[in-house]
A = this chain, B = another copy of it.
Amino acid sequence: MSIRESDTPRIRRTPEESRANILAAAEQLLVEQGPQSLRLADVAKAAGVANATVLHHFGSISAVHTALMEQMIGHLVDNIMAIEIPADAPAEARAVGLKTLFDALETPGAARLAAWLELTDETSRLTVVREAVRDVAQKKIANTAVPEDLAEDMILLSVTLALGVGLFGPSLGKLIGKPEGRARDLTLQMLLMNFQRMAG
């Protein structure tokens, strides 16, 4: 028990690559199987590395959790910040922007991330979350022609409903026997109509 190579040759990555690889596997696990599948052995297996490798790069499994939350939040914020809603645009263009914002949040990934944060009560603890909300809100509100209060309400409403639809829409729709995306369509349609009214 000494002289042995394993059947598969080792893959040697840069630390950044390795971390990225592990987080990508973890993210997929989260979205497809839920937070309770984010165990050390599961994550390592999904990433195709040994348990010890995960610990080598992150130190502990809960550090993996935190890193995953931060990465997913970061990506989400990037996507949202990239959306342009010019203040002087016509109502129609603003509607398109809202739809895009909605799209970014309504994905299973975002919704499950949010639910995970919520259920683990990490929402208030993670500064990333607070910063993300502040940044997004600031930019979006600044770029809007409507009064600040109204803009804040619109954002609160959009984000809340988008996440809700992303998390519950598919299952509930299927249970009731509705076509995929029905909840999403209904909600978006209602939101757009409501905003046209709000914005005059």
Known A-B contacts A116-B119, A119-B116, A194-B193; the reply to A169 vs B176 at CB < 8 A is no
A residues apposed to B, CB below 8 Å: 33-36, 112, 114-116, 118-121, 123-124, 129-130, 133, 137, 152-153, 155-157, 159-161, 163-165, 167-169, 171-178, 182-183, 186-187, 190-191, 193-194
This chain's copy number in the assembly: 2
Give the CA-CA distance A73 to B62 in the complex, in Å: 31
Contacts of A155 in B (CB 8 A): 176
When chains A and B are docked, how far (Å) is the Cα of A123 from the Cα of B169?
12
Task: Evaluate contact between A161 and B159: CB separation under 8 angstroms.
Answer: no
A194 CB contacts on chain B under 8 angstroms: 190, 193-194
In the complex, which residues of chain B have a beta carbon less than 8 angstroms from the beta carbon of A168? 114, 118, 159-160, 163-164
User: Cβ of A156 and Cβ of B182 under 8 Å apart?
Assistant: yes
A121 contact from B34, B152, B172, B193, Cβ within 8 A: B34
Kindly list chain B residues whose C-beta atoms are within 8 Å of the C-beta of A172: 133, 156, 159-160
Name 22 A/B residue pairs within 8 A (Cβ), A-sorted.
Answer: A34-B121, A36-B36, A36-B119, A112-B119, A115-B118, A118-B168, A118-B171, A119-B119, A123-B175, A129-B175, A152-B178, A155-B176, A156-B186, A157-B186, A160-B172, A161-B187, A163-B168, A164-B167, A164-B168, A190-B190, A190-B194, A193-B194
